[in-house]
């Protein structure tokens, strides 16, 4: 894949007047309450927080997640309900059921479609999912293929996650030229295993690669998204909760 690789400082203004962090915090509020509490103090810098109760909304409302969602909403944070699309193989009725539960139980503002497909053949399926989500009251649709998909996906999502992976992989990643046809506010990079002193470099690299939204966390392993994001040069929310 060819394209931009420079970690410059371009990329245009961040969305929502400076809200540039998309936070997938995949840890229960009762297990790590400080991680959740820390987010309210940086609400002005958050694009959104993803609520992932149990690889989705769970089977019943969770009072701890509801309380965390209420606090973030009161702080002005956009909330996205997590749903796994199975790279296009999960039945749409199950995804729609997730969306309904997220809206009813946690009053989310939008939906985070994880494990999204990347090839053109499934564009109609994801277009319909986005339309149905908005019809159910979700104002923001985020697709996460974790890589650069067919360009048509950029026309479906409000935000497209075009990288999810380790810091080492991110350093070597490239960006296809078609992304320059869209504003940087439409793209997001999610990076884990980031040394705290490299947090600012991730932000600059995302900007240089045309992504106005990002998240950098120090976590690794099967679920690296259990800490609040790193922000700034060597400091950040994650450092506050360890």
**What's the predicted TM-score (pTM) here?**
0.90
Token pair of 18 as six digits:
């400076």
Domain ranges of the chain: 15-241
As a whole number of angstroms, the distance between CA 146 and CA 138 comes to 21
For position 4, what pLDDT does the model report?
A: 38
CATH (one of 3.40.640.10, 3.20.20.80, 2.40.70.10, 3.40.50.10860) for 15-241: 3.20.20.80
Given the structure tokens 């149990």, which residue do they identify?
54
Could you list the mean pLDDT of each consecutive 10-residue stretch along the chain, which spans 242 residues? 34 52 98 96 95 97 98 97 98 98 98 98 98 98 98 98 98 97 98 97 97 97 95 46 28
For position 14, what pLDDT does the model report?
A: 40
CA angle 203, 206, 212 (to 5 degrees): 90
As a whole number of angstroms, the distance between CA 69 and CA 81 comes to 10
């Amino acid at each position: 894949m060819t394209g931009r690789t420079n970690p410059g400082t371009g990329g245009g203004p961040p969305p929502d007047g400076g809200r540039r962090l998309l936070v997938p915090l995949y840890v229960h509020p009762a297990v790590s309450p400080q991680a959740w509490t820390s987010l309210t103090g940086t609400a002005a810098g958050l694009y959104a927080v993803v609520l992932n109760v149990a690889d989705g909304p769970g089977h019943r409302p969770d009072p701890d997640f509801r309380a965390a969602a209420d606090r973030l909403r009161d702080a002005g944070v956009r909330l996205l309900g997590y749903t796994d699309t199975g790279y296009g193989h999960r039945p749409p009725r199950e995804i729609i059921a997730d969306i309904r539960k997220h809206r009813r139980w946690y009053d989310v503002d939008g939906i985070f479609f994880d494990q999204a497909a990347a090839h053109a053949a499934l564009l109609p399926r994801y277009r319909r999912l986005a339309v149905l989500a908005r019809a159910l009251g979700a104002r923001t649709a985020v697709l996460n293929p974790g890589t650069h998909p067919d360009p048509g996906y950029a026309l479906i999502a409000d935000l497209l996650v075009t990288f999810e992976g380790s810091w080492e992989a991110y350093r070597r990643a490239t960006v296809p030229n078609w992304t320059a046809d869209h504003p940087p506010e439409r793209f997001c990079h999610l990076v884990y295993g980031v040394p705290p002193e490299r947090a600012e470099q991730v932000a600059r690299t995302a900007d240089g690669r045309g992504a106005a939204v990002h998240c950098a966390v120090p976590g690794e392993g099967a679920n690296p998204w259990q800490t609040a994001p790193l922000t700034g040069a060597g400091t950040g929310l994650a450092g506050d909760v360890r």
